[in-house]
Amino acid sequence: MKKIFSFLLVCTFSLTVYSQENEIVPIKFIQNGFVSLDYVSAKMTLNRFGNPEINMGLTGIHYNLLLNKSLYTGLGFYGAVNGERGGFFTLGVNLGIKKQITEKLFIDSGLHFGGGGGASTPDGGGAFILPHVNLGYQFKNFSTTLGYSYINFFDKGNITSTQFRLGIQIPLSYNYANFHNREKSFSVENLKETKWNQFSKRISLKLQMDNLSPYGDSQFTDFKSLKGKTIRLAGFEIASYLTNNWFVYFRADGAFHGIRGGYMDLFIGGGYKFYFNKNRTNILTKFAIGAGGGGGLDSGGGFLIYPDISIEQKLFDDIYLSINKGYLLNPNQHFTSSTLGFGLKYYVNQQGIKQKSNTFYSSAKFKGLEISFGQEMYFDAKRDKLNGVLIPTENLHQLALQLNLFITKNIYLAGHTSFANFGNAGAYAEGIVGFGYLTNTLLNNKVQIFAQVLAGAAGGGMISTGQGLIFKPSIGFNYRLNNKLSFKTSLGKVKARGGSLNSTSLNFGLNYRISFLTAN
């Protein structure tokens, strides 16, 4: 009997040790990349009076992944900040190569393919190309570029121009683990002996709703006053903390009520956070610059500044309720509006387990992130009337970008934007949010089925979206290509509240899937 008991004890101990050894901490991978800001001044055609129109100044913000030492790819937005076309926006994909000439000098050449338009520009279906060749100089923490570029809205558009291109590139890399590690938890003690033992980086994600109240000389493009109007916006904000107080952020909004659908804005900025009540109540002062316009609103060349102050109150864990008050305006006061908004904010300590005070967090978990980029089509997308004449119905094609943050292993929150590139609606764009469900893997770990429901702001391109609110349910599947990439396709419905848009949608593209470490 003693021998049997001893044998069982040894087996139990061996299984316990084996189980502990196989609770493997995910491997930390490093993805090198860089943020790129650039500016081009595109020549425009003659206006309706036969006079030359001043150039349209476009500012771009991009994030590119380095595939090796030279080749890179990524995504980017452009928005009008100068000229007469405030409200012009695009989304596209980059492919380029950087080659060193000397230790400091390099050549940067590449191609940006995108879709978009707006502000009554001759953008056709919205599809365009923007190749470039630049000479760059590397400083210690950033690089600058100057070169030549060409832009062509080739799908029935009438914007073709060659121009100088000025840019700045800032290295920005991140750590990640494979996507299948999402929702795995580990004790900090186990992670202290791994490469995850490093300082964490704090970020925040916010879903927001803002109310714009224009005043002064603010008006529509048909010269009617905007006074008395309340424009309701929905959007999101992502902030990254450089220190415990200072942060930088990116923000995007779209109108869904108050004016014709189509208004959109994009901002980058910085701010300072004051802590009170043991970090339960905080005040944030912020200042941003960006581009905005559309929906019939006259924002001049599109350049906007946005000072803002907000107060946030902790609800539970890392979730805060935020209330903000600010001003949105052109420097020349062509458009001026007060703002009042509300939002839900989620703070994340990610990529490490160590705090700035050299103490450690108490727990750690990997969260899933999925970035989808592809082509989308709306069958028989209904149009509005132009000068009393109904525009013929045809299919609408657009480039679509979606970010999914997994709050459990299978449920995710989604943010989606898309810009028309074919179908005679270059000014059409969407900014919508929602949630979805992704099944566990099927068919030899290759296939996953998902369903999602999205809603938010959309408009432009004479697509019949009323004041801009749309609903967009869909169902589809992912087919795994490797640890990071999967093919995606889905079928769904898009319906506008207050407009005639009621179409079947088809989407296909690629998913980039990773997990990242969070600590508390």
- Residue 272 shares a structural domain with residue 310: yes
- Examine residue 182 and state whether it is found in any structural domain, yes or no: no
Residue 179 DSSP class: G
Q: What's the pLDDT tens digit per position in 93-147? A: 999 999 999 999 999 999 999 999 998 899 999 999 999 999 999 999 999 999 9
Q: Residue 176: inside a domain, yes or no?
A: no
Q: What is the tally of structural domains in the chain?
A: 3
Residue 335 and residue 217 in one domain: yes
Q: Are residues 147 and 281 in the same domain?
A: no
Residue 22 lies in a domain: no
Q: Are residues 397 and 339 in the same domain?
A: no
Domain extent at residue 106: 30-171
357 occurs within a structural domain: no
Are both 115 and 210 inside the same structural domain? no
Domain final position from 150, 171, 192:
171
Domain shared by 346 and 371, yes or no? no
Query: Are 216 and 338 spatial neighbours (Cβ–Cβ below 8 Å)?
Result: no
Q: 377 and 345 share a domain?
A: no
> What's the CA gap between 161 and 141, in Å, rounded?
32
In-domain check, residue 501: yes
Q: Is the backbone of residue 10 left (phi > 0), alpha (psi -120 to 50) or beta?
A: alpha
Three-class SS state of 481: coil
CA distance 271 to 337: 20
Q: Is 184 inside a domain boundary?
A: no
State whether 223 and 310 are in the same domain: yes
Supply the pTM of this predicted model.
0.91
| Average pLDDT per consecutive 10 residues, the chain (520 residues; last block may be shorter) | 40 37 78 97 82 92 96 97 93 97 96 94 95 97 96 95 96 96 93 93 94 92 90 93 95 90 92 94 97 91 95 94 95 89 94 89 95 97 87 94 96 96 94 95 96 95 93 98 97 95 97 96
- In a domain, residue 8? The reply is no
Shared-domain flag, residues 335 and 408: no
Where residue 492 sits, what CATH number does that domain have?
2.40.160.20
* Token couple for 50: 């036969």
Count of CA atoms in the C-beta half-sphere (13 A) of 161: 18
Q: How far apart (Å, rounded) are the C-alpha atoms in residues 182 and 274?
A: 33
Tell whether 303 is covered by a domain: yes
Last residue within a domain, chosen from 149, 171, 193: 171
Domain finish residue from 350, 384, 419: 350
| pLDDT recorded at residue 50 | 73
Same domain, 378 and 504: yes
Q: Are residues 422 and 299 in the same domain?
A: no
